[in-house]
Amino acid sequence: MPQTLHCPQCTKAVSVGDDSSGKRVKCPHCEKVFLAPGFAPASNDDDDDWLQLDNDPPKTAAPVAGTNSPPTVDVSDEDPFTDLSLPGQTPASGSVQNSALPGESRPHAETPDSNGSDQELPDPDSAFDDFGLSDLPPVPDSSSDDEAAILAKFGSALKDFTANVEPLPGTSAGGSRPGPSDPRSESPASTSADARATPKASPPSADAVEYASEYRVKCKICGSNLYAKASQQGKKITCSDCHSQVTVPPPPKIKTKIKIDVENAKTFGFEEAPQQARRGDPYRKSANELLQQAELEEEQKDKDPTVVYDDDTPSIRQWAMDVFGVFLDPSVIVHWLGLSTFAAIPAFIALSFESPILLVGLVIGGLVLAALVVSCGFAIMQSVANQHESVSDWPEANPTAWMDDLVVAVSAAALAGVPIWALTTFAFGPHLLAAAGTMFAIYALFPFFILSMMDMQSIFVPFSPEVAKSVSRCQESWGGLYLSSGLLFMGLFLLYVALSAAAAGPAVAIAIFATIAVAFSYFAMIGRLAYAIGQAVNEPARVSERPPREDRDAGSAD
């Protein structure tokens, strides 16, 4: 039958079978290998079992005459110990009680007499009565009436409590013995029966270590792999490559494969994770809003069939708003009326009196008026280019504050008109064609030069790469500027022609009002062109629809 041992490494109980006795086994707890001791078979002979005192040993034979025998002791009636007695008591033989435990038997001592005959010893129960000692009086019950009443009252509760409480290990040996009134002493049989009914868990059995029957051995000289058997352990074999002697080491252990019992394995209950509400995508929301807005626009078109949207047909109203929309700003109207009135009154007075001195003063006043108009036009252009709701950066009363804008405008106009005027004058002389060519050059090149100078922030660099690229990217904006400005200049020229037949004073006043209004509108259109160029430059480059050069060459070759 399997024996139970303790592992020398982890000191845990291990069950070892009879077939593994005297062999090396592996502890299932710490997986350490130790040598299991051998077990001797149980003997049926009771001679050596001297601890069993159930049966009396056989009497020894009498000693043979002539042999060395121990000295004999005569037991006589005159033994002084037989007369011992307590005061007030009569000694009586055989009255002393023996303290032997019940159920135990004492061996009878034999004393050979001089004749070699055996003499029986007295009964062990009455052997000590010769000393004259009487039985001790019974121990009185130490419990009083009050204690008995308390035990009677709480006895049942104490029994239930002690039945449910497990005793601590090791308290039975060092604890006090329960008294007669202790409820724990009433049911020892039931406690032992419960202990016998609950079987103890048997320790896990140790696994036998298996060794390989054939394994590889590496030569220490050349490193070749040799094959040896377990029976060749400790012997020397010859290497097949270098012919050196190699000592065969002990066989290695065979690694046991762990087998998982799938049927008895623990299972876990898996549940589907609760689905949480997904967070809304802001881009999807904006797309949904755009779709809803488009649907509303389609519904509005269906409800109002009179509205016709044709992108190919320009809107006169939209064109008028783009050209004259700057006058919707009250500050622009105030500056326009103020400058026109400031210039029309002196011109009307000077032309009415026809004085040469007043005419010279009128020329000087015209130059100052032109500088103020150009400065206000620059303020309007910058506000429109930056998409401001109103013009706020008007020129101050100090002339030095708006001289930079005036220098840029005069430089752009001179760069555009002076070369053409020089060429036409050299070719045709002082003729009307020179004046017409100069005006046309300013009309065509002034917007390009002024935007380039403002972009490069220098009057000496009249060319900007961004403005040059905008000629091809913003064709509609450039075309709209030239068309609108051409119509304005044509209308202003026709107005001059019509006013030439009227009186000088009123005609000059009307011409001044119209010229300042056209100048403000022209600078506003240049600002709108600058805004379109900025949008075209900031947007990503367009993907060319033409195939790459390699693909075109391959297609032409085919």
Same domain, 373 and 457: yes
Same domain, 518 and 426: yes
Domain boundary among 228, 247, 266: 247
Same domain, 240 and 376: no
Q: Could you tell me the pTM of the whole model?
A: 0.43
- Please work out, in degrees rounded to the nearest 5, the angle formed at the alpha carbon of residue 250 by the alpha carbons of 245 and 252: 125
pLDDT at 183: 44
User: Under a CB-based contact definition with an 8 Å cutoff, are residues 519 and 373 in contact?
Assistant: yes
In a domain, 459, yes or no: yes
In a domain, 396, yes or no: yes
User: Under a CB-based contact definition with an 8 Å cutoff, are residues 217 and 228 in contact?
Assistant: yes
Q: Shortest CA distance to 91 belongs to which of 99, 100, 80?
A: 80
Q: Is the dihedral of CA 368, 371, 373, 375 positive or negative?
A: negative
Amino acid, res. 355: S
Alpha carbon 552 to its chain's center: 52
Same domain, 460 and 353: yes
- Return the HEC string of 459-509: CCCCCCHHHHHHHHHCHHHHHHHHHHHHHHHHHHHHHHHHHCCCCHHHHHH
Say how far apart CA 481 and CA 526 lie, in whole Å. Answer: 7
Q: Is the dihedral of CA 384, 388, 389, 394 positive or negative?
A: negative
Same domain, 407 and 531: yes
Say how far apart CA 558 and CA 542 lie, in whole Å. Answer: 29
- In angstroms and rounded to an integer, the radius of gyration of the C-alpha atoms of the chain is 66
Say how far apart CA 439 and CA 421 lie, in whole Å. Answer: 9
Alpha carbon 453 to its chain's center: 55
User: Under a CB-based contact definition with an 8 Å cutoff, are residues 9 and 34 in contact?
Assistant: yes
Q: What phi, psi does 245 have (nearest 5°)?
A: -85, 130
Amino acid, res. 425: T
Same domain, 409 and 508: yes
pLDDT in tens, 203-252: 555 566 778 888 888 898 888 888 888 888 889 899 988 888 889 999 88
Say how far apart CA 27 and CA 203 lie, in whole Å. Answer: 11
Same domain, 224 and 362: no
Same domain, 235 and 352: no
Collapse the DSSP code of 214 into the 3-class scheme (helix H, G, I; strand E, B; otherwise coil) and give the result.
strand
Collapse the DSSP code of 10 into the 3-class scheme (helix H, G, I; strand E, B; otherwise coil) and give the result.
coil
In a domain, 167, yes or no: no
In a domain, 126, yes or no: no
pLDDT at 516: 92
pLDDT at 206: 58
* Residue numbers in the chain where pLDDT is lower than 50: 43, 45-46, 48-49, 62-119, 170-198, 307, 543-544, 558
Give 133: exposed, middle or buried? Use CB within 10 Å, 0-12, 13-18, 19+: middle
Q: Tell me the two tokens of residue 108.
A: 């009878």
Number of domains in the chain: 3
Same domain, 217 and 366: no
pLDDT at 104: 43
pLDDT at 519: 92
Alpha carbon 402 to its chain's center: 61
- Please work out, in degrees rounded to the nearest 5, the angle formed at the alpha carbon of residue 350 by the alpha carbons of 339 and 434: 75
- Cβ-Cβ contacts under 8 Å for 201 (sequence gap 6 or more): none
Same domain, 513 and 395: yes
Q: Tell me the two tokens of residue 423.
A: 């060429």
User: DSSP assignment of 128-197, as one string?
Assistant: GGGGTPPPPPPPPP---HHHHHHHHHHHHHHHHHHHHSPPPTTHHHHSPPP-TT-GGGS-HHHHHHHHHH
> 330-353 and 356-385 are packed helices; what angle lies between their axes, rounded to 10 degrees?
170
pLDDT at 109: 41
Say how far apart CA 32 and CA 523 lie, in whole Å. Answer: 99
Same domain, 490 and 371: yes
In a domain, 307, yes or no: no
pLDDT at 404: 81
In a domain, 327, yes or no: yes
- Return the HEC string of 287-331: HHHHHHHHHHHHHHHHHCCCCCCCCCCCCHHHHHHHHHHHHHCHH
Q: Tell me the two tokens of residue 39.
A: 């077990």
pLDDT at 180: 45
pLDDT at 85: 44
In a domain, 127, yes or no: no
pLDDT at 76: 43
Say how far apart CA 34 and CA 114 lie, in whole Å. Answer: 62
Same domain, 499 and 380: yes
In a domain, 109, yes or no: no
Range of 21's domain? 3-35
Residue entry with tokens 């050209």: 323
